[in-house]
Amino acid sequence: MPRYALLVEYHGAPFAGWQRQRDQPSVQGTIEAALAKLEPGPHTIAAAGRTDAGVHAKGQVAHCDLARNWDPFRLSEALNYHLKPAPVAILACALVADDWHARFSAVERRYLFRLIARRAPLTSEAGQLWRVNHDLDADAMQAGANHLLGQHDFTTFRSSICQADSPVKTLDALRVEVLQRTIGTEYRFHVRARSFLHNQVRSFVGTLERVGAGAWTPDDVQRALAAKDRAACGPVCPPQGLYLAGVGYPDDPFTHI
């Protein structure tokens, strides 16, 4: 059975998350239903990361095994036709080796979190950013973020229901970008690591927002990390500003598309 890699984009608002749910809509279930329109199912696809309810993706990667030899472009076009009207799109498709795996072959995940500081509610971008109504100090947030770089025990920033075998992870990048907008200021948190703990990025951003607001100092982030105690974490921010931005592989299947 040929195996295909899928580059997937989606708006997470209508879904209970990536993972298939018995009685709630999911991104996985939506794509598997579209595959069943092309070939008799059931189908089970695997993804690079299981995003939570309300979390978006610009570069999620999944793989599927099919009976037919599909032209990758035609497969992506057919899936996009059957995915309508769900806010899910197959950006690209590639034939990969039988042992290639969207999750286990990955060597890095990249997340983006978008936060906006403005008084007025969001309208056209509602559900796509986290809005706060106070100014933030980007330099202070970056100083706090720098304490998180490298290999650490991230128990403080790990959900109590996280199923990872170990809280020890290596954070390769956490960069704060500032975009001045006509109304308000947008802060983008670019985060990169081989793998993440459950709610780790949202715990980072919620904590750093407290630093930017002046409620915490940058050194408080270091103390929270050293505590290895979930109770020492700042607030976990809401999911709507979080995007799975991309997944890295030693041999990217989409490079030549």
- Structure token digits, residue 239: 């999911």
DSSP summary character for residue 242: E
Please tell me which residue in 52, 172, 220, 252 is annotated as part of the active site.
Answer: 52
- Structure token digits, residue 189: 């948190």
Longest alpha-carbon distance in the chain: 58
Q: At what angle are helices 200-213 and 218-227 packed, to 10 degrees?
A: 140
* Tally of residues, the chain: 257
DSSP summary character for residue 17: B
Establish whether 139 is a catalytic residue: no
As to burial, measured by CB atoms within 10 angstroms (0-12 exposed, 13-18 middle, 19+ buried), residue 15 is: buried
Is 230 in contact with 158 (CB distance < 8 Å)?
yes
| Sequence letter at residue 212 | G
DSSP H or E stretch at residue 240:
none
Other beta carbons within 10 angstroms of residue 146's beta carbon come to 15
Q: Which residues are catalytic?
A: 52
